[in-house]
Amino acid sequence: MVFRRLWLSVVVPVVVLVLAVVALPPAAAAAEPGPSAVQRAADALRDAGVTGVSVRLQTPSGTVTARSGVGDLATRRPVPQDGYLRLGSTTKTFVATVVLQLVGEGRLSLDQTVEQLLPGVVSGAGNDGRTITVRDLLQHTSGLYDYTPTVFTDPSARTYYANRWRAYRPDELVALAMRHAPDFPAGTDWAYSNTNYVLAGMVIEKVTGQTWERQVNDRILRPLGLRDTDTPGTWPFLPQPHAANYQQFAVDGPMVDTTLPYRPFDSGADGSMTGTARDLNRFFAALAGGRLLEPRELAAMRTTVPVPRDSGQPAGTGAGLGLFSTPLSCGGSYVGHGGSGFGYVVEAAATTDGQRTLTVSTHSRPADPRTAARQADLLHELIDHALCRAS
């Protein structure tokens, strides 16, 4: 997660699109962010312990980039310019966009139930697909148990190495979740669950007769010319160039190279895509700018429910359909979605008109909660400063 692996809280606190509210003087809020300001923010993350950082901000005035730290601890090579990234849960925004396109075409309804679309799949242990709608899946109001703790029970490097090559089918992951009672009745609360988007991918395949990957490629990647974005499934290798990702599994323990994904939860519609910051900014500009969805479906995507305060979110954060809305300290808000896994965090953000977009990637994650919290604060201060100064 940011928003994808709530179970990672046992390793390091995970923030779901948290924005540190930073007061800016009026003059700063009106100025375009210069390369030096963005570079200083990237360097601050490096100084807080992140091994490698990359930032790409695009505005009507041009593009600002920054890199800091190293792309590989062994060779000390620099972080590559616009290198390939694991997108993690940012995949969910692509999947939600396809679902909403199908809604706009009349092939699907947000009010249809999971049972109507996938008979018998959501049942057992108090789970009832007759009460859960497509909207609940996309908005994380289904109450369904997040399957991820069942495939990573021991937060250790040993478990990562032992299981990283194993892959599950979507129906197997859902079956694991169905062994657990729901967290709450559908539509009565909010809780982030990767199970929701495994099911969303299954819904796409049921409605179209094609995989969610094929639909994302045909409907989004090719039309937008996102040639460096991919749906690799269980293929574990990132294209070159890319920075290495490092996870610290224990406080005072070593940084473990986790550039290869943990495939039990890095292979599906909830978080398997790869891409570049350039492509990710282009996608969010098109989405926020109304080029991928008709007005009715875009409005549905941006209609939010409050994220509970005990989830660590600031006042005003809302969850839409595959999209989060977060307040800016200078007024207004931005939309976006982030992703994380072992050793990396990606944050993608866009102003509501799509004119300004930002992708920040960090390539290590610490085990110490205080260090993790400090890095999270700096990351979201960077987003806030960059978008406020650009707006």
Q: Determine the distance from the C-alpha atom of residue 253 to the mean position of all C-alpha atoms in its chain, rounded to a whole number.
A: 27
Q: Residues of 94-111 as b/e, b for ≥16 C-beta within 10 angstroms?
A: bbbbbbbbbbbeeebebe
127 exposure class (CB count in 10 Å sphere: 0-12, 13-18, 19+): buried
224 exposure class (CB count in 10 Å sphere: 0-12, 13-18, 19+): middle
Long-range contacts of 71-76 (CB under 8 A, 24+ apart): 71/241, 71/242, 71/243, 71/244, 71/363, 72/243, 72/244, 73/244, 73/246, 73/255, 73/257
Instruction: List residues bridging with 344 in a β-sheet.
Output: 341
Alpha carbon of 47 to those of 42, 221, 258, 371: distances in Å?
A: 9, 36, 21, 11
Q: Give catalytic status of residue 89 as yes or no.
A: yes
Six-digit token pair at 9?
A: 């809280």
Rounded Cα distance between 387 and 390, Å, is 5
Please identify which of the residues 89, 333, 340, 364 carries the catalytic annotation: 89
Give the type of residue at 348: A
What backbone phi and psi angles, to 5 degrees, belong to 339?
-150, 155
Q: Determine the distance from the C-alpha atom of residue 55 to the mean position of all C-alpha atoms in its chain, rounded to a whole number.
A: 16
Catalytic residue numbers, as ranges = 89
